[in-house]
Structure 1
Amino acid sequence: MTEAEQTTGTPRGADGVSGAPADERTAARGGRRIPALLAVAALAYLLDLGSKLFVVAKLEHHDPIQVIGTFLQFQVIRNRGAAFGLGEAMTIVFTVIAAVVIAVIARIARKLYSLPWAIALGLLLGGALGNLTDRLFRSPGGFQGGVVDFIATPHFAVFNLADSAIVCGGFLIVILSFRGLDPDGTLHRNSDEDEENDENDENGGDKGGH
């Protein structure tokens, strides 16, 4: 039995999740988390867009601004590569990848019942939309626009809030996957562990019957 099942005392059914009917399991998980996903994505996107508009208007073509000495500075550059300035010769490819990521998130959202997954996907969506907006509308345009980066730290590439959102969202997804939590709110286990635990349950039941 999974940790969630042990807590609730609900036996697993044929689907490996719960013995309760599908509509009861859905009610227990609550409604789909699309509003949470969209709220996180909108917040990440607006923060990224607002910060870029501000630094371009106030800081571009000026000397770097020291926020925390030389440890953290604001320095505006136009990046035509991927996150953190990687792959500047593949701007169109990264634009297509961003569009694909958005499409995949939209597909996953149809079965999204997990709040942590909604937050993670929202960060990815907001970050992808933020950098995609730059590629579409900033010079030279045509899916090759330069992304505005401005956060500079020592011995590291200059980046922006969209890059940070993408990294945080990806890191959270890795943690959720490692913990076995699926976007639909269910817990999955390794199949070998399932078989071993099921065998132990059966043996325990046989002993109890005698």
Structure 2
Amino acid sequence: MECRGDDSVFNFRRTDSTIPIWVAATVLALDQLTKVWAAAALDSQVIDVFWKLRLNLTTNTGFAFSAAQGFGPFLGVLALVVTVVLWRMRQRFSGALSNVALGMVVGGALGNVADRCFRSPRWGRGAVIDFIDLQFWPIFNVADMAIVTGVAILSVRMWFDQRGEVPLA
């Protein structure tokens, strides 16, 4: 699917390659906006939303689901390295769904790295803001949801690719 003509700047390939950028930027923006809101609105209060879902502000110096507490600087560098490696491998991911998933992982990782770099107590020692509490699972945030969902999609795609099957685009 390509626009014809010498003056055309749009074609499917170029558009397809920008999907991860737009998704990553959207995830990063949503993550940071929701964290700013949570830090302002949830300070010293818990909001019950529905059934087991509640909004409960906490900080996390570990990684996903509060594992490895206290390793914030190391985890920030590791997340940045993984993000760069994934980004450099983006040509290996074909199809819109894989590009969306890649953007989700990159945007989520950048959202949590931004917290580690710029949130208090000081540069490089910050904690990630978590606020989505299901009460039976560690508290998480929008970036965590994007990372887990993106990794799951990419894992399924790679599994299908290894089997020689073609999953959904």
Q: TM-score scaled to structure 1, two decimals?
A: 0.68
Whether the 8 Å contact between 1:37 and 1:119 is mirrored in structure 2 is yes
Tell me the SS of whatever aligns to 2:62: coil
For residues 112 and 179 of structure 1, do their structure 2 counterparts lie closer, same or farther at Cα, with a shift above 3 Å needed? Answer: closer
CA distance in 1, matches of 2:48, 2:18: 38
Whether the 8 Å contact between 1:72 and 1:154 is mirrored in structure 2 is yes
CA distance in 2, matches of 1:179, 1:189: 6
CA distance in 2, matches of 1:72, 1:116: 28
Whether the 8 Å contact between 2:87 and 2:106 is mirrored in structure 1 is no
Q: How does 1:85-104 map to 2 (within 5 A)?
A: 85-104=66-85
The higher relative CO (CA closer than 8 Å, separation ≥ 6) is in 2
2:47 is aligned with 1:65:
yes
Deviation at 1:57, TM superposition (A): 1.0
Deviations 1:158-183 (A, max 9, x none): 000000000000100111011117xx
For residues 31 and 111 of structure 1, do their structure 2 counterparts lie closer, same or farther at Cα, with a shift above 3 Å needed? Answer: farther
CA distance in 1, matches of 2:97, 2:107: 15
Matched residue type, 1:39: W
Tell me the SS of whatever aligns to 1:77: strand
Whether the 8 Å contact between 1:124 and 1:166 is mirrored in structure 2 is yes
Q: How does 1:129-140 map to 2 (within 5 A)?
A: 129-140=110-121
Report sequence identity in percent.
33
Whether the 8 Å contact between 1:34 and 1:112 is mirrored in structure 2 is no
Tell me the SS of whatever aligns to 1:76: strand
Larger-Rg structure: 1
Deviations 1:184-209 (A, max 9, x none): xxxx749xxxxxxxxxxxxxxxxxxx
- Return the match for 2:65 from 62, 77, 84: 84
Deviations 1:20-54 (A, max 9, x none): xxxxxxxxxx5153210111111111111110011
Q: What is the aligned partner in structure 1 of residue 142 from structure 2?
A: 161
Q: How does 1:137-156 map to 2 (within 5 A)?
A: 137-156=118-137
Matched residue type, 1:92: P
Gaps of 5+ in 1: 1-29, 182-187, 191-210
Matched residue type, 1:140: P
Q: What is the aligned partner in structure 2 of residue 36 from structure 1?
A: 19
Whether the 8 Å contact between 1:135 and 1:141 is mirrored in structure 2 is no
